[in-house]
Structure formats: C-alpha cells, structure tokens
Amino acid sequence: MTGKKHFLALLLCLTAVLLIAGCGPNESQEAPESDVASAYVETVTAGKDIVQQANDSAHAHFFREMVALGPEGVQAAHYSDNCIGCHSAVKMLDDPDAALKDFFPGGKYEDRLEGISCRVCHILATEEGITLRKEGWAVCGDCHTAQGRPVLGKEVHHPQNEMIRGFGVGEVPDIPSYKCFNMIDFTCYDCHTTNAVKHDYMVPGVTVTEDGVTQMDYEKFSEVLKQPRCISCHQIVEDTVQSVKTKQEYIRQKLDELRPLYEEWGEKTAAMDPNDSRVKTFGEAATYFTYVEADSSKGAHNYELAKALLAKAEEKFKELQ
C-alpha cells in the first residue's frame, strides 16, 4: 500500500507541474501564436494570395515587356534567343527550339506570352500535390546564374548563384557564403518566398523603383528573421537587422563611388585601340564591379566576397587614373 501511495503522490505532482507549465488541456498559448502567424502572413503578402503575387511579379511580366519592344527594340537592348530560355515558359517547357521571332506578331507563339508562371517552378499535379520541379539552390540558381565562374575581362550578368556559392575571379579567391555551405538545408526560397507564402520573390522590405533603384525597409525586412527556421539562430532580430544594414550601406556606398568611374572609362576605352593596356585594365575593373552590381543584393548574398571584389575594382580604377 505504501508503494501505491508514493506512486499516486508522484503522479499528482507531475500533473500539477504540467498544468503550471501550460501543457495541460487548458493551455492558452495557441491563440497568440496563431495571431502572430496571421499578422506575419499579412505583412509579407500585402493581402494578396499566392497566384496574385506571382502574376503581379516582374518574373511574370518581363517576357511580355521584352516581346513588346519588337525586333528592333530587342536587338537594341541586346536580348537574344538565349535570354528567353529563362523567361519564356513555352521555351522552357514546351518547345526548346522556340526563338524570339516566334513570339512577335505573326509568329507561331504570338498568343503565348507566358513568362515565369506557376508551372515553370512547380509540377502541378502529382500524388504529393504541387511539388517543385527542382531541388535546393537549383530551384532559382539554374536561371539566376552567370553560367559558371565569371571570366576576368568580361562583364558579369545575373550572378546570384555564383555570388552565394562564392566563386572568385581573377585575383579574388573563392569566398563561399555561409548561406550555401553552413546552412545546409536552406536555399534561396527561404528568404525570397518566405515561409512559402510570399510569391512576388522579393524579400520583405525590398522594393524596386521604376528607374531600377533598389530600396530597403529594414523594419519590414525583420519579418524574414521571425520565421520559425530563422529565429532559432537569430534570436535578437534587431542585432541581425542592424548588421545587415551596416554591410549593405557599405557595399552601396562603394558601388556609388565606383559607378561614375565605370561609366567614364567605359566610354573612354570604347574609343581606344583594343591593344591599349588601359582597355585590359578597365575590362578587369568592369568584371569586379559588375559582379557585385549585377548580383543586386548589396552584399546580402555574400558580404565578404562582394567587399573583396569592390576593393579589387577600386584598385584597378586607380591604375587608370
């Protein structure tokens, strides 16, 4: 009997502890968590559902805008058939031989100006429901890429994949981003689609003006770090936001300082003898500069690599003075 009494006493104590800790049947923590989640979704989506966000995004619009330029406008903008391999759903999924001319008036695809739509990234009907066509960094990185390691002497275009992976160029060594190699199970869409509810592909707080200037609202950006997967490490959100802000302001400042030199020497070297040593020096400076400029993240993707590239660009521009 004594043993049974001890057991019942212990059971009562454990029950009391669980109730005090909030784990019992009257636990009331669910409502606040639900409220936070609802507020979070409203903040990052601006009230739009996923399809609305995707349809309103630049990913969806850009191909139609490209075709609207017409043959001469496309040529003047230096767009080519290679470009639409990442901008036209028809070329990506239906007809790999499709060319820009097929989408102009009179072309066989003139009525199929589908840009980056849901089916480009997703398989829409599977036993598991809607699934991604690719995995990991390839989901975004197969298009947001400079097509491999940048080449010294050539300008760099959309190198987000290379920046995050930390590909060096010229005198700048490889500097892998912790995002790619330490955050093993993370990838682009953890920030850019944000808990899978934000489908305009812009990190919360990031906006782009009509003239292409990227602006940042760091208060809204903090919503990224409040995701369950982020807050476990970034527990003091304000500190992380301040760190990102400081780094981005530095990269933005260096880009602003170097851009006039890039534009000035671009015009000068265009009129020079190709064998002039300054043409080669400018080409190298342009590689370092455009690698960071074209990445567009102002160091958020890989601060250490971006800083090293701009330091080398500055060095090369000084050689031209």
pLDDT in tens, 267-303: 999 999 999 999 999 999 999 999 999 999 999 999 9
Tell me: the pLDDT tens digits for 134-181? 988 899 999 999 988 999 999 999 999 999 999 999 999 999 988 777
Per DSSP, helices labelled H in 127-236 are 138-141, 160-165, 178-181, 188-192, 218-225, 228-231
Mean pLDDT lowest among 21-30, 127-136, 231-240: 21-30
Please write the tens of the pLDDT for every residue from 201-249.
988 888 877 776 778 899 888 888 888 778 878 889 999 999 999 999 9
Residue 302: partners with Cβ closer than 8 Å, 6 or more residues away: 163, 164, 166, 175, 176, 177, 179
What's the pLDDT score for residue 228? 79
User: Distance (Å, rounded) from C-alpha 321 to C-alpha 319?
Assistant: 6
Average pLDDT, the chain: 85
Say how many C-beta atoms besides its own lie within 10 A of residue 263's C-beta.
10
As a whole number, mean pLDDT of residues 257-271 equals: 97
User: What's the mean pLDDT in 109-114?
Assistant: 96
Q: What is the pTM of this model?
A: 0.83
How does residue 35 score in pLDDT terms, banded at 50, 70 and 90? low
Q: In terms of Cα–Cα distance, which of 194, 216, 189 is closest to 205?
A: 216
- Does pLDDT of 28 surpass 50? no
Band of pLDDT at residue 37, cut at 50, 70 and 90:
low
- Residue 86's pLDDT is what? 95
| pLDDT of amino acid 54 | 92
pLDDT at 1: 46
